[in-house]
Amino acid sequence: MTAAPPPAPEHLDLAALFPEADRAQWQQLVATALRKSGRIDQDAPADTVEAVLTSVTYDGIGVLPLYTAEDAPAVAAGLPGSSPFVRGSRRRSADDSAPTGWDVRQRHNDPDPDVTREAIMTDLENGVTSLWLTVGRGGLPLGSLGHVLRDVFIDLAPIVLDAGSDTEAAAAEFLGVIAGRGVLPEAVRGNLGADPIGLRARTGGAAPDLDLVVRLARRCLAEAPGVRAITVDATVHHDAGGSDAEELGAALTTGLAYLRALTEAGLSLEQAFAQLDFRYAASADQFLTIAKFRAARRLWGRVAEVCGLTDGSVAGQRQHAVTSSAMMTRRDPWVNMLRTTLACFGAGVGGADAVTVQPFDAAIGLPDGFARRIARNTSSLLVMESHVARVIDPAGGSWYVERLTDDLAGSAWDWFTEIEQHGGIIAALESGLVERRLADTWARRADNLAHRRDPLTGVSEFPNLTEKPVIRAPYPTGESSATAPGALPQRRYAQDYEAFRDAADAHTLSTGERPAVFLATLGPAAVHTARASFAANVFQAGGLATPTSGSVTDPAEVVAAFRASGARVACLATSDRLYAEHAVKVATALTEAGAGPIWLAGSPGERAAQYSAAGIDHFIFTGVNALGVLRDVHHQVGIAEGAVGA
């Protein structure tokens, strides 16, 4: 007879049999590992490991290697729908235990109304729940909205407009569509997209017309009370290379400028707050993205509190997340699917109300049907299959995320107050304060990109010279294509590397041969592979082929392989021990064979003078300025000077 199982305990302490660990023990274990790897000195105290492993964001926020309850911020996150709105802007009812996810918002900017109309219906039939339409210059022609939206149930699918300087005309057209449909005006949701300050930041030119937001807000209240008039689009600051706190601080002061304009025109606080949506970029740094959206709600909640707004239903910030344009690449664009998935995850977990996943080919041109399908399915997979949205604020309670949220909010508030002390966002744009601040951040970011401390998979790391180009129809010319003085630049992290690739490809087309750097891989593969792979990665990031000598050490064999490669520049790659035995002899033979200049994968160390005498004057090593290397090598292999900007 089988014995009955023992009764289940009333309380189960899963860690009860393990001794309690403390921070000092963790430090000792990590210090042992770091001493073995050479990261810290053998006699370095254990409590230094956290400083060694702490990374710093572009806002100067230290990201620690370990977080405990001691690191939790003192400010409580509150409850969803309640001040300070960190955990969400919408109040949850007792039976709302399984949220349905975020609004899946697809962007449409094809100027052909028939193409856009068909794409819209495909999207709505396959998981998209709202539409973001570019109208006017750079998008759908004015006058086409009625045709484009003819088959759309506009009382079910919210419509968000993006029309730049054509905003008022596009808004009037959309409000006319609502009036002509016979639907209840209050049932229609969406946003007219008025953002004159954002337009000024993106395109430069004259001071923004704040009377526009007042006129459109009044029209919304009178004709379509479910539609909002204003979108505070902070992605312009992100696209200029700005940090997360800089994006948040600029959004905050822009939103405040619109609130002032609306209330001075006679709207109540409740009416003014209810007219604003906010748009932020979501990046592949999932934790910073989560913290950004949580911090944004806390900051806007603070503005509402200071303004004296007590209506929690409108005090919570409504957020639209867009996967970052700056992180998208034209080379190996398939990797963009991974970047946008991480960004979508971060935005969703961070509590964004609507999420737009940009198609993987968005940096190349107008997306095709496949790219659009992958974009909308990214949200569908995260919501319907991964169940990311079934938990309210899933990052809440994480000491890391709560600390990061608090630190980011503090940094953003400092930038916000600096702008306000300068006279507000309009004055800060006119004086160049914003542009200078973002330029400083971009300079630091560009330096990290150049040294590959911020790696770009498929571009600065693991480039694929044999990839088949992805060809797309170009975007229509928009307002940002012809900017006035004072406009914030639009940057992409991959732009400099891709410029080198473009120059190398142009050289290949004009000469019939791809420019190359010959790798003299000395000794067995197990010895030379690490440095040869590192060097090949850097050279190929600039579109340069890297033929090798194979596993040889005989100078005559290396020279024969060099001549067969057709290359002009050579690079030695092996271990320090084999460099001592063979580098000078091989370099001398290569120089006599016409190679020049000669590079070496590794630091010169004590043999710099010896190497120089043998013709080795260039070195490539971990931490080198890869863009500087590519600039030099492009010149050395004969790619036309000026093909790539310095």
pLDDT per residue over 306-324, tens digit each?
999 978 789 999 999 999 9
Cβ–Cβ contacts within 10 Å for residue 569, how many?
Answer: 22
Lowest mean pLDDT among 195-204, 352-361, 449-458, 476-485: 476-485
Distance CA 641, CA 518 (A): 21
Confidence of residue 482 (pLDDT cuts 50, 70, 90): low
pLDDT score of 119 = 97
Cβ–Cβ contacts within 10 Å for residue 145, how many?
Answer: 20
User: Is residue 30's pLDDT more than 90?
Assistant: yes
Lowest mean pLDDT among 57-61, 117-121, 264-268, 603-607: 603-607
Distance CA 523, CA 528 (A): 6
User: Is residue 645's pLDDT more than 60?
Assistant: no
Domains with residue ranges and CATH for the chain? 23-53 (no CATH), 103-428 (3.20.20.240), 498-637 (3.40.50.280)
Lowest mean pLDDT among 4-18, 100-114, 214-228, 469-483: 4-18
Helices (H), 386-432: 399-421, 425-431
Confidence of residue 92 (pLDDT cuts 50, 70, 90): low
Q: How many residues does the chain have?
A: 646
Q: Which of 159, 75, 85 is nearest to 313 (CA)?
A: 85
Cβ atoms of 492 and 363 within 8 Å: the answer is yes
| DSSP symbol at 512 | S
Tokens, residue 630: 């590519």
pLDDT score of 392 = 87
Helices (H), 183-242: 196-203, 211-223, 235-239
Amino acid identity, position 19:
P
Lowest mean pLDDT among 192-201, 336-345, 394-403, 605-614: 605-614
Q: What are phi and psi of 422, to 5 degrees?
A: -80, -5
- Residues 179-197, mean pLDDT to the nearest whole number: 95
pLDDT per residue over 249-307, tens digit each?
999 999 999 999 999 999 999 999 999 999 999 999 999 999 999 999 999 999 999 99
pLDDT score of 643 = 47
Q: Which of 371, 396, 349 is nearest to 102 (CA)?
A: 349
pLDDT score of 605 = 84
Lowest mean pLDDT among 121-125, 132-136, 455-459, 477-481: 477-481
Distance CA 456, CA 328 (A): 10
- Residues 480-484, mean pLDDT to the nearest whole number: 68
Confidence of residue 96 (pLDDT cuts 50, 70, 90): low
User: Is residue 157's pLDDT more than 80?
Assistant: yes
Lowest mean pLDDT among 3-12, 14-23, 157-166, 600-609: 3-12
β-pairing verdict for 227-233 and 276-282: parallel
- Residues 613-640, mean pLDDT to the nearest whole number: 94
User: Is residue 581's pLDDT more than 80?
Assistant: yes
pLDDT score of 97 = 52
Confidence of residue 50 (pLDDT cuts 50, 70, 90): very high
- Residues 507-523, mean pLDDT to the nearest whole number: 96
- Residue 130: HSE in the Cβ half-sphere, 13 Å Cα cutoff: 21
Q: What is the pTM assigned to this prediction?
A: 0.93
Cβ atoms of 344 and 327 within 8 Å: the answer is no
Q: Residues of the chain with pLDDT > 70: what percent?
A: 96
Cβ atoms of 287 and 346 within 8 Å: the answer is yes
For the chain, first and last CA: distance in Å?
Answer: 84
* DSSP codes joined into one string, 471-492: --PPPPP-GGGSPPTTPPP---
pLDDT score of 518 = 98
pLDDT score of 391 = 87
- Residues 140-148, mean pLDDT to the nearest whole number: 96
pLDDT score of 252 = 98
pLDDT per residue over 441-457, tens digit each?
999 999 999 999 999 99
Cβ atoms of 342 and 376 within 8 Å: the answer is no
Q: Which of 499, 517, 450, 535 is nearest to 640 (CA)?
A: 499
User: Is residue 480's pLDDT more than 80?
Assistant: no
